[in-house]
């Protein structure tokens, strides 16, 4: 099936070239980072995780979101997702690879990365996170490839693949739960020290992942012969609605606990993010923008007549995706570090090289996704011609 | 209502005065320690009796080791440190302590975002945010407090580290293996005391005076105070202890006769954020 990625239209090759160019730019900045050190980023002694780890967190969510296609199709036999399940799996593959790359660029000594497995440490959540991430990547590669190959040969998927499909479901929940456990088990970081962090991560993931799938479906429908079908897109939009509501609900639970208890150590991070602290307010506009986007998206998704209009639905999905991206990819990590445990405020903003490296990684993900989707679309076109 | 409150305060005050026992009482209490061990008396007055606050306690019966003359104990079950912050009147008093550490451990001088700190000066409100008081004594407010790794008995950084590059030794010292560290900085997120620094850039060009006795670090690894494990191994006191003119006591927390236990027995001390269950091994006499 791989050969299908070498044959494509002019616009396909234009997209591939643009992504390859961005990857090259990112690589140049990464070489610079290897030479100078992580000092070229905006991270500091106080804010020791920044944009990279935040992208990891967000993208683990996008990857886990793929399960919202797999689960209804394979567990509830919801046939309408049959056509797009593969998109969820391929999105998961691209996302997980991006996650792993974001961890790599965040390491101070990337050449020593294998120490993670040479000295396996069971009491470190990072060790377990690496296991579930690689496990989920493997499962999606195996399932996605096998199912698509069978589709191409017009045969039903083999029986032995079923256990792997079922296993991928708890793994999807697992990757985001373990990723939340990276943060929520740390004493003295009160913003993260909450049992609701993992559920909230899952809720936002199940909104952001499917929202991106809808955007992709609408793009594919416009530019290729691949049509996900109205019903599948509408079913996905309902999933997004519930997940986004759950995300906002859990966030408001957090706000209530912090603000009603009036415990300064719990309130202070929310105060910093939404109102600024001692004149430091770099993230305030972003947080309000994120909340506004999610609120508008909820309103649009809740009204059936709006949701059923695919142009409006596209806007709602973009708002959902970007809103969650800001919340998780910018506020969630920085918010936990500001103020520091000594109640001092050091602000964080990603630097230009840091953003370029991140764009490079997103382009790698984009390229992988382009290739995988090209494969899926080509196979579908082949099969429909044969019929 | 007002009257009864005043009455209560009066009684409370009298009780408090009673608790501040005379030195003879303390002596009497200490003499009992020389006697053979007895079954603990459940009705005995709590240890609070021996607490004295305000001025340094000089207790002739239990002198602590003179770091200038005696070497430190050769081993310990849990090394610990007691900082008598009353002896640090101004930054000038703390400076030599910090400088001694910086010089011995090849600490570079870098900008605030990238700085490496093993032991450094903090204000009371930052070191003890959970022990904040609205109206802190003026002198304590401006007193320089040394902050450093607490060498916790239950260290969250060790739990978080995915490669065991940071680990707890049998003698309680939490150490770093600079060669195994992958620079993931999970330990920095896990440390609730801000004790860890990351080499965001190559530290070597920024070391003012190179000490060949201690390794320099490479960029991309985490580091922190090591309780001068390398000096203890050679029978030397930690650099900060040596430079502190007696303000910092060092010894085995598990040995009831150790210097740290003697000092703790006679002085009211606090530790940083104990509510987290980390069991810090650095004690502060306020």
Give the other-Cβ count within 10 Å of B31's Cβ: 10
Same domain, B120 and B217: yes
pLDDT at B1: 44
> B274: cis peptide before it, omega within 30°?
no
Q: Are A75 and A169 in contact (CB under 8 A)?
A: yes
* Full domain range(s) for residue B138: 64-285
pLDDT at B11: 55
At B143 the three-state DSSP class reads coil
- The answer to whether residues B173 and B77 belong to one domain is yes
Nearest CB among A103, A116, A340 relative to B163 is that of: A116
Question: How far from chain centre, in Å, is Cα A244?
Answer: 14
Calculate the CA dihedral of residues B14, B20, B25, B28 and round it to 10 degrees. 130
Query: What are the DSSP calls for A258-306, one per residue?
Result: HHHHT-HHHHHHHHHHHH-BTTB-TTHHHHHHHHHHHHHHHHHHHSHHH
Phi and psi at residue A63, to the nearest 5°:
-65, -45
Helix (H) / strand (E) element for B121: namely: strand B119-122
Arithmetic mean of pLDDT over chain A? 94
The position carrying tokens 């499962």 is: A139
Q: How far apart are CA A363 and CA A26, in angstroms?
A: 9
The structural domain count of chain B equals: 2
From the list B268, B272, B264, the residue with the least C-alpha distance to B64 is: B264
Total Cβ atoms within 10 A of residue A84? 25
Residue B218 with chain A: CB contacts under 8 Å: 109
Handedness of CA A207, A192, A278, A280 (dihedral sign): negative
Q: Does B181 touch chain A (CB under 8 A)?
A: yes
Q: Which of B113, B126, B163 sits opposite A342 (nearest CB)?
A: B126
**Residue B56 within a domain:** no
Band of the pLDDT at A4, cuts 50, 70, 90? confident
For residue A130, the chain B residue with the least C-alpha distance is B162
pLDDT exceeds 90 at position A366: yes
Q: Which chain B residues are within 8 Å of A179, Cβ to Cβ?
A: none
Q: Are B27 and B143 members of one domain?
A: no
Residue-level pLDDT at A133: 96
State what percent of residues in chain A have pLDDT above 90: 85
Chain A environment of B124 (Cβ under 8 Å): none
Confidence (pLDDT) at A60 = 96
The span from the CA of A235 to the CA of A80, in Å, is 9
Annotate B179-209 with DSSP letters as a single string. Answer: TT-----HHHHH-TT---EE-SS-SGGG-SS
Under 8 Å CB pairs connecting chains A and B tally to: 144
pLDDT of residue A284: 96
Chain A interface includes B219 (CB < 8 A)? yes
Q: Are A300 and A316 in contact (CB under 8 A)?
A: yes
Q: Does B190 touch chain A (CB under 8 A)?
A: yes
The pLDDT, as a whole number, for residue A387 is: 56
- Pick the residue from chain A with its C-alpha nearest to B276: A187
Whether B95 has its CB under 8 Å from any CB of chain A: the answer is: no
Does B120 contact A at CB distance below 8 Å? no
Residue B241 within any structural domain of the chain: yes
What is chain B's Cα-based Rg? 21
Query: Has residue B189 been placed in a domain?
Result: yes
B49 pLDDT band, cuts 50/70/90, is very low
User: Is residue A354 a contact partner of residue A39, using CB atoms and an 8 Å limit?
Assistant: no
How close does chain A come to B184, measured CA to CA in Å? 5
Is B220's Cβ below 8 Å from some Cβ in A? Answer: yes
Percent of chain A with pLDDT over 70: 99
Query: Per-residue pLDDT averaged across A59-77, rounded?
Result: 92
Domain A7-374 has CATH 3.40.50.920: no
Mean pLDDT of A276-283: 93
The rounded percent of chain B whose pLDDT value lies above 90 is 72
pLDDT, mean of residues B262-285: 96
Least confident of A19-28, A73-82, A126-135, B108-117: A73-82
Any idea where the domains of chain A sit in the sequence? 7-374
Across the range B135-161, mean pLDDT stands at 96
d(CA A56, CA A103): 7
Query: What is the Cα–Cα distance from B248 to B146, expressed in whole angstroms?
Result: 10
| pLDDT at position B70 | 85
- Of B51 and A206, which is predicted with more confidence? A206
B107 belongs to a structural domain? yes
Predicted pLDDT at A145? 92
For the segment A125-141, the average pLDDT, to the nearest whole number, is 96
- DSSP H or E run through B236: none
Rounded to a whole number of angstroms, the distance from the CA of B156 to the nearest CA of chain A is 7
Asked whether A294 and A324 are in contact (CB, 8 A), the reply is yes
The DSSP H or E segment spanning A356 is: helix A352-386
Mutation to test the A interface, candidates B191, B202, B220, most A Cβ within 10 Å:
B220
Kindly indicate the confidence band of residue A239, based on its pLDDT and cuts at 50, 70 and 90: very high
Over 80: is that where the pLDDT of B22 sits? no
Structure tokens at A78: 């919801």
Is B58 part of any domain? no
Residue A200: pLDDT over 80 = yes
The answer to whether residue B16 is domain-embedded is: yes
Judgement on whether residues B148 and B14 belong to the same structural domain of the protein: no
Q: What pLDDT, on a 0 to 100 scale, did the predictor assign at position B147? A: 97
Q: What secondary structure, in 3-state letters, does A160-176 show?
A: CHHHHHHHHHHHHHHHH
Instruction: Using the Cα atoms of residue A355, residue A63, residue A273 and residue A264 in order, give the sign of their dihedral.
Output: negative
Same-domain check for residues B215 and B77:
yes
Residue B56 C-alpha, separation from nearest chain A C-alpha, in angstroms: 27
Q: How far A36 CA sits from the closest chain B CA (Å)?
A: 6
**Residue of chain B whose alpha carbon sits nearest to that of A181:** B160
Taking an 8 Å Cβ-Cβ cutoff, which residues of chain A contact chain B?
Answer: 36-39, 41, 43-46, 48-49, 103, 106-110, 112-113, 115-116, 118-119, 121, 123-127, 130, 182-183, 186-189, 336-337, 340-344, 346
Do residues B179 and B220 both lie within one domain? yes
Q: How far apart are CA A186 and CA A197, in angstroms?
A: 12
B129 and B204 fall within a common domain: yes
Contact with chain A for residue B131, Cβ under 8 A = no
Q: How confident is the model at residue A186 (pLDDT cuts 50, 70, 90)?
A: very high
Residues B5 and B145 reside in one and the same domain: no
pLDDT of B65 reads 67
Residues of chain A with C-beta less than 8 angstroms from the C-beta of B147 = 342
* Interchain contact B128–A (C-beta under 8 A): no
Which segments within B55-118 are labelled E, that is strand?
79-84
The closest alpha carbon to A190, from A273, A80, A71, belongs to A273
Q: Cβ contacts (< 8 Å) between B160 and chain A: which residues?
A: 124-126, 186
Do B46 and B3 share a structural domain? yes
Per the CB < 8 A criterion, the answer to whether A179 and A168 are in contact is no
């Amino acid at each position: 099936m791989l050969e299908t990625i070498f044959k494509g239209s002019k616009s396909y090759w234009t997209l591939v070239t643009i992504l390859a160019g961005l990857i090259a730019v990112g690589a140049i900045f990464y070489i610079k980072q290897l030479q100078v050190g992580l000092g070229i980023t905006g991270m500091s002694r106080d804010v020791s995780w920044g944009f990279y780890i935040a992208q990891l967190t967000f993208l683990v969510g996008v990857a886990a979101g793929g399960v919202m296609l797999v689960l209804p199709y394979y567990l509830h036999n919801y046939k309408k997702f049959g056509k797009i399940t593969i998109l969820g799996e391929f999105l998961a593959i691209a996302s997980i690879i991006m996650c792993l790359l974001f961890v790599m660029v965040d390491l101070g000594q990337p050449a020593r990365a294998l120490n993670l497995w040479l000295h396996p440490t069971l009491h470190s959540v990072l060790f377990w996170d690496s296991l579930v991430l690689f496990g989920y990547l493997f499962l999606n590669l195996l399932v996605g490839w096998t199912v698509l190959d069978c589709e191409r040969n017009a045969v039903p998927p083999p029986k032995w693949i079923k256990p792997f499909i079922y296993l991928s479901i708890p793994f999807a929940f697992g990757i985001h739960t373990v990723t939340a456990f990276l943060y929520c088990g740390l004493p003295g970081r009160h913003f993260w020290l909450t049992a609701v962090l993992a559920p909230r991560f899952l809720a936002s993931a199940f909104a952001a992942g499917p929202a991106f799938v809808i955007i992709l479906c609408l793009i594919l429908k416009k530019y290729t012969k691949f049509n996900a079908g109205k019903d599948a897109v509408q079913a996905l939009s309902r999933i997004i609605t519930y997940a986004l509501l759950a995300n906002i609900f859990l966030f408001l639970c957090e706000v209530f606990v912090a603000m009603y208890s009036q415990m300064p150590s719990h309130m202070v991070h929310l105060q910093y993010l939404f109102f600024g602290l001692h004149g430091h307010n770099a993230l305030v506009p972003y947080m309000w923008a994120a909340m506004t986007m999610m609120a508008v998206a909820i309103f649009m998704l809740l009204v059936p007549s709006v949701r059923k209009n695919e142009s409006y639905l596209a806007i709602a999905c973009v708002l959902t995706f970007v809103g969650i991206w800001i919340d998780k990819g910018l506020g969630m990590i920085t918010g936990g570090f500001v103020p520091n445990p000594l109640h001092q405020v050091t602000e964080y903003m990603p630097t230009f090289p840091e953003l370029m490296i991140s764009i490079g990684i997103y382009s790698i993900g984009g390229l992988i996704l382009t290739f995988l989707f090209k494969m899926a679309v080509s196979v579908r076109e082949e099969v429909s011609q044969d019929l | 209502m007002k009257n009864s409150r005043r009455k209560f305060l009066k009684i409370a005050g009298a009780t408090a005065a009673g608790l501040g026992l005379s030195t003879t009482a303390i002596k009497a209490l200490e003499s009992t320690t020389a006697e053979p061990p007895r079954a603990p008396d459940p009705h005995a007055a709590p240890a609070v009796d021996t607490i004295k606050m305000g001025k340094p306690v000089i207790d002739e019966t239990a002198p602590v080791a003179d770091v200038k003359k005696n070497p430190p104990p050769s081993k310990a079950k849990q090394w610990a440190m007691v900082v008598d912050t009353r002896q640090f009147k101004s930054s000038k008093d703390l400076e030599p302590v910090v400088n001694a550490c910086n010089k011995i451990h090849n600490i570079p001088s870098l900008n605030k975002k990238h700085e490496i700190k093993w032991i450094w000066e903090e204000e009371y409100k930052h070191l003890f945010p959970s022990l904040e008081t609205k109206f802190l004594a003026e002198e304590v407010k401006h007193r320089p407090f040394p902050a450093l790794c607490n060498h916790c008995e239950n260290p969250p950084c060790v739990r978080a580290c995915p490669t065991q590059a940071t680990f707890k030794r049998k003698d309680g010292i939490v150490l770093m293996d600079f060669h195994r560290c992958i620079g993931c900085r999970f330990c920095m997120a896990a440390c609730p005391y801000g004790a860890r620094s990351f080499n965001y850039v190559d530290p070597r060009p920024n070391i003012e005076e190179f000490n060949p006795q201690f390794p320099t670090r490479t960029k991309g690894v985490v580091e922190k105070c090591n309780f001068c494990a390398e000096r203890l191994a050679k029978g030397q006191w930690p650099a900060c202890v040596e430079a502190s003119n007696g303000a910092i006591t060092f010894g085995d927390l598990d040995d009831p006769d150790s210097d740290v236990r003697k000092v703790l027995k006679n002085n009211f001390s606090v530790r940083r954020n104990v509510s987290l269950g980390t069991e810090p091994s650095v004690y502060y006499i306020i």
